[in-house]
Amino acid sequence: MQTIKGPAIFLAQFAGDAAPFDTLDGIAGWAANHGYEGVQIPSWDGRLFDLRTASESRSYCDDVKATLDRHGLALTELSTHLQGQLVAVHPAYDLAFDGFAAPAVRGDAKARQAWAVEQMMMAAKASAHLGLTAHATFSGALAWPYLYPWPQRPAGLVEAAFDELAARWTPILNAFDEAGVDVCYEIHPGEDLHDGITFEMFRERTGNHPRCNILYDPSHFVLQQLDYLAFIDIYHPHIRMFHAKDAEFNPTGRQGVYGGFQSWVNRAGRFRSLGDGQVDFGAIFSKLSQYGFEGWAVLEWECCIKDSEQGAAEGADFIAAHIINVASRSFDDFAASGADMAMNRKMLGIG
């Protein structure tokens, strides 16, 4: 077994144009003051990080780590959620996702995809320069608009989508393999990889690529009513990252999983700050510890009610209280009889 590392915090939802959230040094000090021991950096946010420079310069990466070290922080992982999303975009979402890309490639789907792939390749090199072993991203989606089979999907449509998705990601996975870094897809509605079955479909098409792994976030499973504890039992060999995020699902006679096009605060399923939702984090930390999860517990704050500052302030203590210092010896060692194989055979009546 392994003691989970943490608490850590994903900085994406906290970065901003005002101090201390507009520089890495400033936001690192803020995180440390709240009791966090690690940070996960969104690689697209130029206020905090320069991905291209990190991919080209080890000295820049050393400076990044030195900045964090001054505040007693570790860098847990880089994230390319926005760039990974653009590796595969269905035309229905062209305009909605265009803002994720660099201005020079907006309005040009082919150029945007090429830019996204380049970003992923840079992230592999940057992660290696930073001494990281895991990376957070989204898979993107080609089949998502056809999630509900009405009108009935033509035969082969989903298979073609996953074949193409795997073809686009395999060279990226190979680049991360060369860098010695796992690609951890956040299993997330809106992505083609949104549950266990779709992860299996994708991974099989990559030839069961060893770098194809999972970022586990139970909040997304609450919202789609998937058993998030059984998921750990099934997929723990592939869970290499963990976002601690809470959620609740309260269906009514008027709406359920699909939410009725309501705002987040009015949906049956909604994200909450840690401890305010329905996720059984005690059971999650127990299972991850049982299976020897070696990564960090990283707060991803999203809540439709609570202020982000309060959520961050409470999150570090919440995670720290749930981290289990795993046992170094069996609880019943005191009663060990010192038996050997000869004694075992006698006890069984066969010696």
- Mean pLDDT (the chain, rounded): 96
CA distance linking residue 212 with residue 130, whole number of Å = 20
Q: Which of 212, 215, 216, 217 is nearest to 169 (CA)?
A: 212
Beta-bridge mates of residue 2: none
Q: Where does 206-307 have alpha helices with state H?
A: 219-223, 228-235, 281-290
pTM: predicted TM-score of the whole model, two decimal places? 0.94
Q: What is the pLDDT of residue 332?
A: 60
Q: Per residue in 37-49, pLDDT tens?
A: 999 999 999 999 9
Could you read off the pLDDT of 103-119 as tens digits, one per residue?
Answer: 999 999 999 999 999 99
Phi, psi of 80 (to 5 degrees): -130, 45
Token pair 């997929």: residue? 235
Q: What are phi and psi of 343, to 5 degrees?
A: -65, -40
Say yes or no to pLDDT of 253 above 60: yes
- Of 128-137, 203-212, 260-269, 337-346, the poorest mean pLDDT is in 337-346
- For residue 334, is pLDDT > 60? no
Look up residue 212 and give its amino acid. Answer: C
CA distance 208 to 170: 10
Classify residue 49 by its DSSP letter. -
pLDDT of the residue at 275? 97
Q: What are the structural domains of the chain? A: 5-347 (3.20.20.150)
pLDDT in tens, 162-173: 999 999 999 999
Of the two residues 204 and 345, the one the predictor is more confident about is 204
Three-state DSSP class for 22? coil
- Separation of alpha carbons 112 and 89, rounded Å: 10
- Beta-carbon contacts of 249 under 8 Å, excluding residues fewer than 6 positions away, are 222, 223, 225, 257, 268, 269, 278
pLDDT of res. 176: 98
CA distance 94 to 111: 12
What pLDDT is recorded for position 212?
Answer: 98
Q: Exposed (0-12), middle (13-18) or buried (19+): which is 338, by Cβ within 10 Å?
A: exposed
CB 112 within 8 A of CB 89: yes
Positive or negative: CA dihedral 224, 225, 229, 235: negative
- Quick count: other Cβ atoms within 10 Å of Cβ 46? 10
Is the model's pLDDT at 339 over the cut of 80? Answer: no
Confidence of residue 327 (pLDDT cuts 50, 70, 90): confident
Q: What is the per-residue pLDDT for 337? A: 65
Residue type, 180: G
Residues 281-306: tens digit of each pLDDT: 999 999 999 999 999 999 999 999 99
